[in-house]
């Protein structure tokens, strides 16, 4: 007779292919053996080890859904199972990987010239080149269409653009070798994407200071991008794509990865809370897991995780069949981030005072999940994307 498995309550494994299960196992093993042992210290020190991308590259985990260029060419679901494995350890490690894989390699793969793809993708797949994605600006986060960064023809050097502007809250920017920067062409006002290659930038034209003392995502590195008359050759501009469609197309893949990724973080919260509840005894030697209110917290969280996993797998399948809409991705990104954050906060209560010790890991997930609910479209912004699709009326402005 079938047995209930609290780690996979609705049997989502039955929806996966043998290849997807194998990829998931490889990723889970690497993350538990190599990332988990270093995350506590990394989080305390607010330190990101760039070697991690190399290690992921060696295992074929970077840009995994891309075909060719040394990438694995796996399904969207398999790619998201990788993000789930990484985020089970820490959303910051997943963040760094998502930016590399979905936002930078994805942008180059979708919009780059043949030469740009050859130049960057193979080494990015190996983690030898690190990428960052600059869309958000100090004055424009939810509304990137109002960005102030500009690109104008270089007055002295034909075939070059001069980039000016600032981006903020940019994952990987302080350590990135190549930064995808979205800026408006000064003459037309159209948004275009540029590959700003650090080694091509003269001193003083590109600065990427870190943002220190974060209260979440401390195991990833985040910074700003300042461009001051930074000369970028025209061959580093994405040749065709213009408008917000460019950055948003990349965001579709990254948002999809976050939908299953955050379920990994939630599942880790459930596993930690369950263990704690079984071991902690209060009132006549009873484990607190015996008390109904504690059981309800675990039941609610396990239900939301199980539903979230199934929904994400369904959207991934449609994505690979060319049937997924951006609104579907908004729905699973919003729901899974919201439920992961809500349940993590409730499960934190099970740890009592010990939740306040970083040794228990639960506070780290809660702080991280706040960020996942905020970046790649804050949840209320996704509500408005869905509201627009449902009513036909846009409520942003
Ligand atoms: P709107 O009129 O809706 O659209 C403008 C153009 O873009 C197209 N478009 C999309 N295309 C593909 N996929 C999507 N998801 C798309 N969404 C929109 C649209 O068709 C249109 O094309 P065209 O050809 O007609 O011009 O634009 P709007 O300015 O009204 O946008 C409103 C809104 C709120 C939907 C949008 O601005 C939004 O999503 N804001 C959220 C901002 C955001 O997500 N920022 C993310 C920054 S990157 C990041 O956070 C990385 S963290 C990574 C990590 O560390 O893991
Ligand atoms: P705001 O846009 O100022 O929004 C503040 C609040 O107002 C939100 O709750 C929002 O939902 C609400 N709000 C805004 N407009 C409306 C409206 N019309 N109706 C109702 N409510 C509204 N960006 C990148 O480009 N690249 C990265 O790599 C990247 N990494 C990040 C890493 C971290 C750790 C963090 C914290 C952020 C990162 N971001 C990145 C930025 C992120 O995408 C933005 O923070 C996010 O898009 C929200 O923008 P904002 O912070 O400017 O908030």
Ligand 2 atom closest to the CA of 144, numbered from 1: 47
Cα 117 to averaged position of ligand 2 atoms, centre (Å):
29
The pLDDT value recorded for residue 80 is: 98
Q: Which of 28, 87, 137, 376 is catalytic?
A: 376
What pLDDT was estimated at residue 312?
Answer: 98
The response to whether residue 104 sits with its C-beta less than 6 Å from ligand 2 reads: no
- 383: CA distance to ligand 2 center in Å? 14
Q: Which ligand is nearest to the CA of 319?
A: 1
Ligand 2 binding pocket mutation candidate from 130, 137, 169 (most atoms within 8 A of CB): 169
Residues whose beta carbon lies within 6 Å of some atom of ligand 1? 95, 98-99, 133, 135-136, 142-145, 171, 243-245, 248-249, 251-252, 254, 326, 375-377, 381, 385, 396
CA atoms within 13 A on the CB side of 51: 6
Give the distance (Å) from ligand 2 centre to CA of residue 114: 33
Nearest CA among 167, 93, 80, 42 for reference residue 368: 93
pLDDT of residue 131: 98
Are residues 110 and 250 in contact, defined by beta-carbon separation less than 8 angstroms?
yes
The H-assigned helical ranges of 100-227 are: 106-111, 114-125
Residue 333: closest CA among 281, 278, 261: 261
Kind plus residue range of the DSSP H or E element containing 134: strand 131-134
Closest CA to 332 of 80, 22, 7: 80
Token match 């840009």: residue?
63
The pLDDT value given to residue 341: 99
Ligand 1 atom nearest to 377, measured from its CA: 44
Which ligand 1 atom sits closest to the C-alpha of 378?
Answer: 41
Average pLDDT for runs of 10 along the chain of length 397: 97 98 98 98 97 97 98 98 98 98 98 98 98 98 98 96 98 98 96 98 98 98 98 97 96 97 99 98 98 98 98 98 98 98 98 98 98 98 98 95
Q: Cα(131) to centroid of ligand 1, in Å?
A: 20
Question: How many CA atoms, within 13 angstroms, populate the side-chain half-sphere of residue 253?
Answer: 28
168 CA to centre of own chain: 16
Ligand 2 geometric centre to CA of 140 (Å): 8
**Is 115 tagged catalytic?**
no
Ligand 1: which of 248, 371, 383 to mutate, judged by most atoms within 8 Å of the beta carbon?
248
Question: For ligand 1, atom 55, which residue shows the shortest CA distance?
Answer: 95
- pTM value is 0.98
For ligand 2, whether the C-beta of 256 sits within 6 Å is: no
Residue 65: predicted pLDDT: 98
Predicted pLDDT at 397:
87
Q: Where are the alpha helices (DSSP H) in the chain?
A: 18-30, 36-45, 51-58, 76-89, 91-98, 106-111, 114-125, 245-279, 292-320, 326-348, 362-374, 379-391
Long-range contacts at 110-113 (CB < 8 A, ≥ 24 apart): 110/241, 110/249, 110/250, 111/193, 111/238, 111/239, 111/240, 111/241, 111/246, 111/249, 112/195, 112/238, 113/235, 113/238, 113/239
Q: Rounded to the nearest whole angstrom, what is the distance from the C-alpha of residue 77 to the centroid of ligand 1?
A: 22
Q: Are 266 and 363 in contact (CB under 8 A)?
A: no
Whole-angstrom CA distances from 60 to 71, 87, 123 are: 7, 17, 12
Nearest CA to ligand 2 atom 7: 142
Q: Which atom belonging to ligand 1 lies closest to the Cα atom of 144?
A: 37
Of 134, 188, 244, which is best to mutate to test ligand 1, by the most ligand atoms within 8 angstroms of its C-beta?
244
Nearest CA to ligand 2 atom 19: 396
Q: Does residue 74 contact residue 136 with C-beta atoms inside 8 Å?
A: no
Alpha carbon distances (Å) from 328 to 87, 144, 193, 324, 380: 21, 21, 25, 6, 15
Q: Which residue in this structure is represented by tokens 């009326």?
A: 393
Q: What is the spatial distance between Cα 274 and Cα 327, in angstroms, rounded to a whole number? A: 34
Q: Phi-psi bin for 48: left (phi > 0), alpha (psi -120 to 50), beta?
A: beta
How many angstroms does the Cα of residue 126 sit away from the middle of ligand 1? 29
- Both tokens assigned to 286: 């009873």
Q: Residue 249 in contact with residue 243, Cβ under 8 Å?
A: no
The span from the first CA to the last CA of the chain, in angstroms, equals: 56
> For 319, how many CA atoms within 13 A lie in the half-sphere containing its CB?
26
């Amino acid at each position: 007779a079938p047995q209930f498995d609290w780690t996979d309550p609705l049997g989502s494994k039955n929806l996966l292919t043998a290849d997807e299960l194998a990829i998931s196992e490889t990723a889970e093993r690497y993350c538990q053996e190599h990332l988990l042992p270093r995350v506590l210290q990394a989080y305390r020190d607010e330190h990101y080890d760039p070697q991690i991308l190399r290690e992921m590259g060696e295992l074929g985990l970077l840009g995994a859904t891309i075909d060719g260029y040394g990438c694995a060419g796996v399904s969207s679901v398999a790619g998201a199972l990788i993000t789930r494995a990484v985020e089970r350890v820490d959303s910051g490690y997943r963040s760094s990987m998502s930016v590399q894989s979905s936002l930078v390699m994805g942008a180059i793969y979708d919009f780059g010239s043949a030469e740009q793809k050859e130049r960057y993708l193979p080494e990015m797949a190996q983690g030898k080149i690190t990428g960052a994605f600059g869309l958000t600006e100090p004055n424009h986060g939810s509304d990137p269409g109002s960005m102030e960064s500009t690109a104008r023809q270089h007055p002295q050097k034909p075939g070059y653009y001069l980039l000016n502007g600032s981006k903020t809250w940019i994952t990987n920017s302080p350590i990135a070798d190549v930064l995808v920067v979205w800026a408006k062409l000064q003459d037309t006002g159209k948004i275009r994407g540029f590959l700003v290659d650090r080694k091509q930038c003269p001193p003083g034209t590109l600065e990427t200071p870190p943002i220190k003392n974060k209260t979440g995502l401390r195991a990833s590195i985040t910074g700003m991008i300042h461009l001051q008359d930074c000369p970028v050759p025209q061959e580093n501009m994405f040749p065709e794509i213009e408008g917000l469609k460019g950055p948003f197309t990349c965001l579709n893949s990254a948002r999809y990865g976050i939908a299953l990724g955050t379920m990994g973080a939630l599942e880790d919260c459930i596993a930690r809370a369950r263990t704690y509840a079984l071991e902690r005894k209060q009132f006549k030697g009873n484990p607190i897991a015996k008390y109904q209110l504690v059981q309800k917290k675990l039941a609610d969280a396990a239900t939301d995780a199980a539903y979230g996993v199934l929904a994400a797998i369904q959207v991934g399948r449609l994505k690979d069949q060319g049937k997924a809409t951006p609104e579907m991705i908004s729905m699973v990104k919003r729901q899974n981030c919201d439920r992961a954050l809500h349940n993590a906060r409730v499960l934190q209560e099970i740890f009592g005072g010990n939740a306040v010790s970083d040794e228990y890991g639960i506070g780290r997930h809660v702080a991280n999940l706040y960020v996942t609910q905020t970046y790649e479209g804050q949840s209320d912004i996704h509500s408005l994307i869905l509201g627009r699709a449902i009513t036909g009326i846009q409520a942003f402005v």
